[in-house]
């Protein structure tokens, strides 16, 4: 069994995806409705610390001990290492009634994304919301990648711990609705329409 490959966080700066996702992500969060927010796969904690600074009530977990150590420098009580062998949140978070889970650029790395969606569902209150970002794939973008022979660079199979799932709007919608979620919002971000770098899907239980 292969050990977890730490992403290798070195500082508290926003990850590349948040440079073009943050504005659209925050638009999807309502302070009146989204009272308890959990960022699953929070990395170095940038998003959670940003949300805390904006007055939201947010927590984060990640398997990266390096990432969590960086995150805790700003708000130590808000971050926890997630044990990937466990089907439960870290103990201090288990009694919090989360109504919102955010997961940015995680699901494309997972061998069993269905198990991840079920895990998210388990942590949410009835009527809770799940916001997922992942690299966008669709016919036009995939065609251009093929024409210009960019698949090797795009996927980079030599990247240990890299992307192993290619999601389209259709396939991620199917994965979520299959577990009882209803899609309430879709946003493409980064680049022009249908060549988006990522997509953000919001779904409700």
pLDDT of residue 87: 87
- Rounded CA-CA distance 12/71 in Å is 7
- Rounded CA-CA distance 45/41 in Å is 9
The predicted-structure confidence for 159-175, as pLDDT tens digits, reads as follows: 888 899 999 999 999 99
CA-CA-CA-CA torsion sign (87, 90, 94, 99)? negative
pLDDT of residue 85: 82
pLDDT of residue 160: 82
pLDDT of residue 4: 60
Query: 205 CB contacts (<8 Å, ≥6 apart)?
Result: 121, 124, 125, 126, 127, 128, 129, 130, 180, 181, 182
pLDDT of residue 9: 86
Residues of the chain with pLDDT under 70: 1-5
Residue with tokens 């990648």, as numbered in its chain: 145
- Rounded CA-CA distance 103/58 in Å is 13
Domains of the chain: 18-204 (3.40.50.150)
- Rounded CA-CA distance 70/147 in Å is 41
Contact 131, 99 (CB under 8 A): no
pLDDT of residue 121: 97
- Rounded CA-CA distance 38/31 in Å is 14
pTM of the model: 0.94
Residue with tokens 């988006």, as numbered in its chain: 196
């Amino acid at each position: 069994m292969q050990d977890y490959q730490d992403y290798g966080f070195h500082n508290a700066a926003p990850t590349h995806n948040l440079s073009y996702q943050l504005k659209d992500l925050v638009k999807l969060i309502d302070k009146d409705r989204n009272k308890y927010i959990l960022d699953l796969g929070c990395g170095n904690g940038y998003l959670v610390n940003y949300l805390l600074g904006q007055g939201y009530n947010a927590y984060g977990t990640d398997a990266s001990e390096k990432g969590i150590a960086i995150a805790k420098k700003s708000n130590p009580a808000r971050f926890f290492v997630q044990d990937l062998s466990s089907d439960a949140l870290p103990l201090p978070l288990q009694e919090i009634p989360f109504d919102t889970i955010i997961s940015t650029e995680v699901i494309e790395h997972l061998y069993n994304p269905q198990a991840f969606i079920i895990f998210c569902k388990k942590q949410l209150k009835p009527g809770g919301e799940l916001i997922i970002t992942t690299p966008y794939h669709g016919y036009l973008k995939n065609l251009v990648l093929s024409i210009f022979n960019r698949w090797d660079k795009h996927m980079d199979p030599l990247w240990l711990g890299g992307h192993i799932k290619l999601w389209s709007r259709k396939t991620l919608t199917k994965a979520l609705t299959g577990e009882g979620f209803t899609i309430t919002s879709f946003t493409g971000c980064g680049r022009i329409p249908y060549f988006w770098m990522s997509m953000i899907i919001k779904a409700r239980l």
